[in-house]
Copies of this chain bind each other. A is one copy, B any other.
Amino acid sequence: MKVNQKYIADLLKISRVTVTKALQDHPDIAISTVKKVKALADELGYIPNIVGRSLSTKKTNTIGVVVPKINHSFFSTIIEEMYTKAQALGYQIILMVSFENEKSELANVKSLLSMNVDGIIIDSVSTSAKDKSYELILKHQKPLIYIDRKPRSIKKVESIVFDDYNLSYKLTNLLIDRGYKDIMYITGSQEVNICYDRLIGFKTAMSDARLDVPTDWILNADLDKENSYKVFQKYLENNSKLPEAIVCVNDFVALGVYEACEKNQIKIPDDISIVGFGHLNISNLVQPPLSTVKLDLQKASFVAVEKLIAMINNQPYEKNNIIGGEIIFRESVK
């Protein structure tokens, strides 16, 4: 019933090995035999069983990818880009989702190791210093790359991150150039590299311009829209002074601020200016269109996959890459 190499071999009354070799265009085999084998394989709809092959070759030609979420344009973009690049290089992506949960991330890594992927790419949710996922992968000697987010505590690991500090610095500077002085910042946990680096960029730009940032003007919002809304709403309830502008650690946080502004009839950009970071697809559609930093997600994804595959095959590769971005001012800023 099932069509495997043995089946083909028996039908042609040759050895299974000959079939294997013929299918691989091995120079050993007579062209006539190769043709016969391939013709029959085609006719029977033979499809090689990768599970068997993997066991034999110790290679699965798969890459494990762990992301915090799928349904989120930032992540779905990098997933799609990685998928495309991997496919082009002959690899399959095994996708895992951590749902912003460290335990899930660890479980996912275990699954990936179990499935014997050839390497792993993680957009990490970890905030703890002793990262178990990392240590497990290290122990199993699997090639590993962090993309976008990584635990700040891990130093000796390949990573592909965005130019968070510089972009944040530049962005802040551009706001300052436009005459803004009273600027608020909304961020997430400082254990996450992107929050840390972007905030430092902001602070440095402000202090370089001799502008003051009151500590209670650095709000903490957990990187998502709902939280950001709550946090800024709460600020509005307890304070009468409105910042001239708000810099948000990412676009989702910015959208939460939009919502709070709408509820409180604060006009953007007339009463307040808002900027985000990351360039969600929708940043362009909201009213007014959001000023943000467009990160080169495709490049980051491509580099991550290419580099991981180089690591897998013991080929040379560039060290820790930093991917740029482009600052886009839209109507959310005067």
9 A-B pairs with C-beta separation under 8 A: A45-B136, A48-B114, A51-B55, A51-B60, A70-B79, A70-B83, A72-B76, A255-B285, A281-B282
Given A72-B76, A77-B71, verify A51-B285 contact (CB < 8 Å): no
Tell me which residues across on chain B come within 8 A of A97, comparing CB atoms.
80, 83-84
Kindly name the residue among A54, A70, A73 whose own CB sees the greatest number of chain B CB atoms within 10 A: A70
Given A54-B51, A76-B76, verify A92-B92 contact (CB < 8 Å): no
Q: What does the 1/0 interface line of A94-129 toward B look like (CB < 8 Å)? A: 110100000000000011011110000000000000
Contact (Cβ within 8 A) A115 B52: no
Closest chain B residue, CB of each to CB of A280: B282
Tell me which residues across on chain B come within 8 A of A285, comparing CB atoms.
255, 282, 285-286
Q: What does the 1/0 interface line of A20-47 toward B look like (CB < 8 Å)? A: 0000000000000000000000000101
**Which of A266-298 touch B at CB < 8 Å?**
281-282, 285-287
Given A94-B92, A95-B93, verify A114-B80 contact (CB < 8 Å): no
CB distance from A263 to the nearest CB of B (A): 15
